[in-house]
Amino acid sequence: MRTIWSGCFPAIILLFCLFFFTMGTAFSSPFTPVDAIILDAGHGGHDPGAVSVWDDVTYYEKDIVLDIVLRMKAILGQRAPDLNVILTRDSDVFVSLEERAGIAVDSVSSGGASGGTGTIFVSLHVNSARSASAQGYEILIKQADRKVTFLDEKSPLSAIKRWSSYKGSVLNTELNKENKSLASSVRASLATFFPAGRDRGIIERDIYVLNYSRMPSVLVEMGFLSNKDDAWNLRDGEWRQKMAAAIVSGLLAYRFL
């Protein structure tokens, strides 16, 4: 017996190794597992974003999005304490689009267990339109035909290790897939939390922070400050808390897809 077992032992080890190697290959992608989230509150400082006056009070997009980002951070701290949550701003300061994109590139090196390549980027905004009847939420993603350069002289070692085995075209195709998947998760969650809300869909748009992002990224336009009903919601603390919880649920659903 002892002789048979000792003969089998190396074969069993080999089988185990093959099994785990195959599992690893099947479940790994250039952008997973997700271990960090960048929350980007749009505008700030001298850039107020959308502005509307309701009942003699002036409301600014920059304040609403920051409030909801801070609520999301608190919810994530409770629901996913293992995630590294990075804010592009946590106060009323101006952050340029280049700086926001730079924070995203830098986070690739300071993410978490995966070396940071498993980071997602979520930008929060509030809409405004000339037509007071425009209302609802929409989720923006980068234009699929915009190609992202993944590796350059700024790339940290972790990104080189993770991405150098992929062709640039493969990384771009995968990123477009992940963008859609992330946007769909957030959209599904918003539909669940706000069944009466107006869903304007997922839209590809030419937006700086999305087009230059090397990670799955979405921009959520949560409602129209120029619409009476939406503005009523955007002013309300309970609604903001629900919106924060809805987006977080969508992000976490994507994380565990």
Residues in the interface with Zn ion (CB under 5 A) total 3
Kindly state whether residue 100 participates in binding Zn ion, applying the rule CB under 5 A: no
Minimum CB separation of residue 187 from Zn ion in Å reads 19
State how far the Cα of 90 lies from the Cα of 211, in Å rounded to an integer. 23
Kindly state whether residue 250 participates in binding Zn ion, applying the rule CB under 5 A: no
Minimum CB separation of residue 65 from Zn ion in Å reads 7
Closest of 31, 22, 24 to residue 181, by C-alpha: 31
Kindly state whether residue 42 participates in binding Zn ion, applying the rule CB under 5 A: yes
Q: Is 134 helix (H, G, I), strand (E, B) or coil?
A: coil
State which residue has the least CB distance to Zn ion: 125
Kindly state whether residue 197 participates in binding Zn ion, applying the rule CB under 5 A: no
Task: Return the number of other C-beta atoms located less than 10 Å from residue 57's C-beta.
Answer: 8
Kindly state whether residue 44 participates in binding Zn ion, applying the rule CB under 5 A: no
State how far the Cα of 52 lies from the Cα of 40, in Å rounded to an integer. 22
Kindly state whether residue 223 participates in binding Zn ion, applying the rule CB under 5 A: no
Closest of 218, 209, 225, 208 to residue 61, by C-alpha: 225
Burial state string for 102-141 with b = 16 or more CB within 10 A and e = fewer than 16: ebbbebbeebbebbbbbbbbbbbbbbbeeeeebbbbbbbb
> For the chain, what percentages of helix, strand and coil (3-state, to nearest 5) are there?
45, 20, 35
Q: Of the ranges 41-49, 83-91, 92-100, 167-175, which one interacts with Zn ion (CB under 5 A)?
A: 41-49
Which lies closer to Zn ion via its Cβ, residue 42 or residue 223? 42
Q: Of the ranges 46-54, 108-116, 136-144, 195-203, which one interacts with Zn ion (CB under 5 A)?
A: 46-54
Closest of 143, 120, 107 to residue 30, by C-alpha: 120
Kindly state whether residue 62 participates in binding Zn ion, applying the rule CB under 5 A: no
Q: Of the ranges 7-15, 38-46, 171-179, 197-205, which one interacts with Zn ion (CB under 5 A)?
A: 38-46
Kindly state whether residue 49 participates in binding Zn ion, applying the rule CB under 5 A: yes
Which lies closer to Zn ion via its Cβ, residue 51 or residue 170? 51
Minimum CB separation of residue 12 from Zn ion in Å reads 58
Select the residue interacting with Zn ion from 62, 125, 214, 255 (CB under 5 A): 125
State how far the Cα of 104 lies from the Cα of 11, in Å rounded to an integer. 45
Q: Is 85 helix (H, G, I), strand (E, B) or coil?
A: strand
**Residues in the site for Zn ion, rule: CB under 5 A?**
42, 49, 125
